[in-house]
Amino acid sequence: MASYLLGLTGGIGSGKTTVANLFQARGINLVDADIIAREVVEPGSEGLQAITEHFGVSILQADGTLDRAKLREQIFADDNKRLWLNNLLHPMIRNTMLASAQKAESAYVIMVVPLLFENGLDRLVDRTLVVDISPELQINRTAKRDNVSEVQVASIVASQISREQRLARANDIIDNRGVMAELDAQVEHLHQKYLALAASKTKNE
Ligand code: ADP
């Protein structure tokens, strides 16, 4: 059971997934907040049951899955609904993430959480790691990856905490403005550091 938790975050397109994969290649288990956020509202889940009771069956698509676009529209227009939904889902996501981190068998475990600081999930982890690039690169790489407009990406960047705020709250920072080989070298260096931190935490427990 892994008892040392690292929270990996960064703005959209900063390279979180790329960095997480480099740690995974070194045998480190990942817990992905985006995947868990989808799992807690899967058909048959307690989460989807509660949402259907609150919003009505019109919130479901014909195949019984959640109509995310409709839900987004509804909570965008109504603060109370947004609050209700967050109060329902955030504890479920948090508990599921912790449970799955506890099952991990690597020396430490990484939680990949796009909105780590925005949602206060940094309180759950031993240490935070931020992947950093400039807003220009963020917009450029994401627009290419998702085949969407730069304007669209810029509005998502603006909705997240600022680069400065994120960096101020980071314990460690990876600079992902360079090429992949530079990224891998930084990951290797941090991996050694986290192995040592995890070992000393286990020893002191
Ligand atoms: P995030 O998970 O933070 O949204 P990704 O890991 O998906 O970001 O990276 C965004 C895009 O940038 C992807 O298409 C990825 O392949 C690319 N990318 C990541 N790091 C680099 C890099 N160092 N050089 C060039 N492209 C990169």
Checking if the pLDDT of 22 tops 80, the result is: yes
- Helix %, strand %, coil % for the chain, to 5? 60, 10, 30
What's the pLDDT score for residue 205?
A: 74
The answer to whether the predicted template modeling score (pTM) of the entire model surpasses 0.85 is yes
Checking if the pLDDT of 1 tops 80, the result is: no
Query: pLDDT (tens digit, 9 = 90+) per residue, 48-107?
Result: 999 999 999 999 999 999 999 999 999 988 999 999 999 999 999 999 999 999 999 999
Ligand 1 midpoint to CA 177 (Å): 10
Query: pLDDT (tens digit, 9 = 90+) per residue, 150-201?
Result: 999 999 999 999 999 999 999 999 999 999 999 999 999 999 999 999 999 8
C-alpha–C-alpha distance, residues 112 and 16, integer Å: 7
Ligand 1 midpoint to CA 14 (Å): 6
Checking if the pLDDT of 3 tops 90, the result is: no
Ligand 1 midpoint to CA 13 (Å): 6
Checking if the pLDDT of 108 tops 70, the result is: yes
What's the pLDDT score for residue 202?
A: 80
Checking if the pLDDT of 37 tops 90, the result is: yes
How distant, in Å, are the alpha carbons of 36, 102, 105 from that of 30? 12, 11, 10
Atom of ligand 1 nearest to the CA of 177: 23
Atom of ligand 1 nearest to the CA of 176: 23
C-alpha–C-alpha distance, residues 27 and 30, integer Å: 10
**Domains delineated in the chain:** 1-28+108-200 (3.40.50.300), 35-105 (no CATH)
C-alpha–C-alpha distance, residues 7 and 171, integer Å: 10
**Site to substitute for ligand 1 among 18, 110, 157, most atoms within 8 A of C-beta:** 18
- Phi/psi zone of residue 50: left (φ > 0), alpha (ψ -120 to 50 degrees), beta? alpha
